[in-house]
Amino acid sequence: MRTPFIAGNWKMHKTVGEAVEAARKLEELVQGSPVEVAICAPFTSLAALSALGLSKVKLGAQNMYWADQGAFTGEISAAMLLDVGCEYVILGHSERRHIFKEDDELINKKVLQALQKGLKPILCVGETLEERRAGQTENVVVTQTTRGLAGVGADKLPTVVIAYEPVWAIGTGEYCDAADANQVIARIRQTLAELYSEELAQQVRIQYGGSVKPGNIREFMEQPEIDGALVGGASLDAEGFASIVRY
């Protein structure tokens, strides 16, 4: 049985003080929930959040680089993230793919590095509106999943989380129909079975992301293939995010 996992992606929001206040409140509100909860905060807040010693809310980063260290101005390494208490790291988010032009090869390097160093990657996949209209959704998510996991050993696969985030639904207020999202996620799981085995595929948690809110989370979580959510704007308010966790 896969444990539901709901993670908040704060993106480029919150000062350190605001992050600490929100995390403290969230920690209180989600105590006792059977759902695994994480906050993926800006780099500047990670150390302060780690110092809180939260027991229920886990810590994640929004990106990292694939090298151990070096002349990579502005980048953050896996070791640095581990040093400030991160357990998870989002990789391949559509905003990294489309704004910062990260391709599957670069994202794969990051996935391999995260796993080697002991971080759990949240690998994001999803189609644009143009790709969806062209009937390319399945091809896009299968390709991104396959390339993103290239070289990942079977022993590491169960620690990977995959987030299906249709690009056209991120931050737009539009969201994918729950049944449609379930169908796409089922295809992703089928891809995992083809790459590895059915047994391993059933161990991997696959989230839905894209304008998830308190009012629609339940319909996603009722779907058999959807194991949680990667939540953007709705995770910024502690009470609202807690209501999503308590779906």
Instruction: Please state, rounded to an integer, the average pLDDT across all residues of the chain.
Output: 97
Q: How far is CA 182 from CA 198, 208, 219, in A?
A: 17, 9, 10
> What is the residue extent of each domain of the chain?
34-95+102-234
Please write the tens of the pLDDT for every residue from 79-131.
Answer: 999 999 999 999 999 999 999 999 999 999 999 999 999 999 999 999 998 99
Helix (H, G, I), strand (E, B) or coil at 149: coil
Q: Which of 27, 102, 127, 165 is catalytic?
A: 165
Residue with tokens 């489309």: 98
Q: What is the pTM of this model?
A: 0.97
pLDDT score, position 176: 87
Q: Which of 36, 93, 102, 225 is catalytic?
A: 93
Q: Which residue type is seen at 225? A: E
Confidence of residue 244 (pLDDT cuts 50, 70, 90): very high
- The amino acid at 10: W
- Is 13 a known active-site residue? no
CA 185 – CA 164 distance, rounded (Å): 7
pLDDT tens for residues 6-45? 999 999 999 999 999 999 999 999 999 999 999 999 999 9
Where does 84-177 have alpha helices with state H? 94-98, 104-117, 129-133, 137-148
Side chain identity at residue 121, one-letter code: P
* Percent residues over pLDDT 70 in the chain: 100
The whole-number pLDDT of residue 25 equals 98
Q: For the domain bounded by 34-95+102-234, which CATH number is listed?
A: 3.20.20.70
Q: How far apart are CA 203 and CA 192, in angstroms?
A: 10
Contact 48, 16 (CB under 8 A): yes
pLDDT at 219: 96
Active site residue 165: yes
List the Cα angle 10/11/12 in 5-degree steps: 110
Mean pLDDT for 190-198 is 98
Alpha-carbon distance of 185 to 7, in angstroms, equals 17
Q: Would you say residue 172 has pLDDT above 90? A: no
The pLDDT, as a whole number, for residue 233 is 95
